[in-house]
Each structure stands twice: as structure tokens, then as C-alpha cells.
Structure 1
Amino acid sequence: MKPVYEKIEEIRKEKGVTKTSIAKKCNKTVAWYHGISTGKRKANVDSLQEIAYALEVDVRIFFESKLSVMQNKSEEVI
């Protein structure tokens, strides 16, 4: 499973969006976004929602593989 910050960067690159563009859409500095996208700064729920909005994706996509693993484990218990 990839860390959330790696998933954010992967999506950003796939969409061809710059770090500056994401920061502007979030009304934050590029340094703020860079910190989150490199894992040096922890992203809270609000930050993740802002980034998801800027990337035009559902915030749950950042946790997609983690949710799948949790769902599979819960199915094994049943």
C-alpha cells in the first residue's frame, strides 16, 4: 500500500497538474503542498479534502487500497 502522500502525487502527475496550481486552488503556499506531497507535513482531513477538490477527485481515492484491505479482512472474519 502506498502512503497517502504518494497517492496524491501520483494522481497529480497523471492529471498533468502542477504543484503551484494545486496550492493556488487550495489557497495555500507551494511550500505547504510540497510538504504534504513529500510526506514531510502531515495532512489533516480538511487538507486532504482541499487537495481532492483541487484534483477533481473524491477524497476516498487517497485511501482506496487501504479500504480494500480492511474490507477483505472484515470479510474473512465473517
Structure 2
Amino acid sequence: MKPVYEKIEDIRKSKGVTKTHIAKRCGKTVAWYYGISKGKRQPNVESLQEIAKALDVDVRIFFEDSLSVKRKNNSREVI
């Protein structure tokens, strides 16, 4: 199973979302998100929820083994 930070990055890249976009949506710095994206910083539950919202996915996707992203509107996108 991939680490959470790798799953976040896979989803971010598949959606074409920038690190800056996620950081701004979470009210944090790009350095904060960069730390998460490299596995150097462990996000807390609140941060994971904010990142999921910025990516328009359900936070549970970060903990599943599936290769598809379930969007909030219940459609699936294969990554």
C-alpha cells in the first residue's frame, strides 16, 4: 500500500492541480505542502480534510488501496 503522501501527489498530478493551489486552499504556505508532498511532514486529520477538499475528493481515498478516485459527487476517475 502506498503512503498517504504518495496517494495525495498521485491524485494532485492526475487532476492537474498545482502545489500552490492546494497550499492556498488550505490557508498554508507552499513550503508546508511541499513537506507533505515529499513525506517529510505528516499532515493531521484537519489538514487531510482540507487537502481532500482542495482536490475535490473524499478524504477516505487517501486510505484505500483502490486506483480510482471517488469524487464527492460519486463519479469515479481512474488514475
The two structures have a TM-score, normalised by structure 1, of: 0.82
**Equivalent residue letter for 1:25:** R
Task: Tell me, in whole angstroms, the C-alpha distance in 1 between the residues paired with 2:26 and 2:43.
Answer: 13
Q: Name the residue aligned to 1:29.
A: 29
SS in structure 1 of the partner of residue 9 of structure 2: helix
Provide structure 1 residue ranges, at least 5 long, that are not aligned to the other structure: 67-78
Does structure 1 residue 63 correspond to structure 2 residue 50? no
Deviation at 1:32, TM superposition (A): 0.4
Cα distance in 2, alignment partners of residues 25 and 50 from structure 1? 8
RMSD of the alignment, in Å? Answer: 1.1
CA distance in 2, matches of 1:58, 1:37: 18
* SS in structure 1 of the partner of residue 33 of structure 2: helix
List structure 1 runs of 4+ shifted beyond 3 angstroms: none
TM-score by length of 2: 0.81
CA drift of 1:37 comes to 1.0
How many residue pairs match? The answer is 66
Residue deviations 1:6-32, cap 9 Å, x none? 000000000000000010010100000
Residue 65 of structure 1 deviates from its aligned partner by 1.5
Match of 2:46 in 1: 46
Q: Which structure's residues are more often strand, by fraction?
A: 2
Cross-structure match for 2:14: 14
Structure 2, unpaired ranges of 5+? 67-79
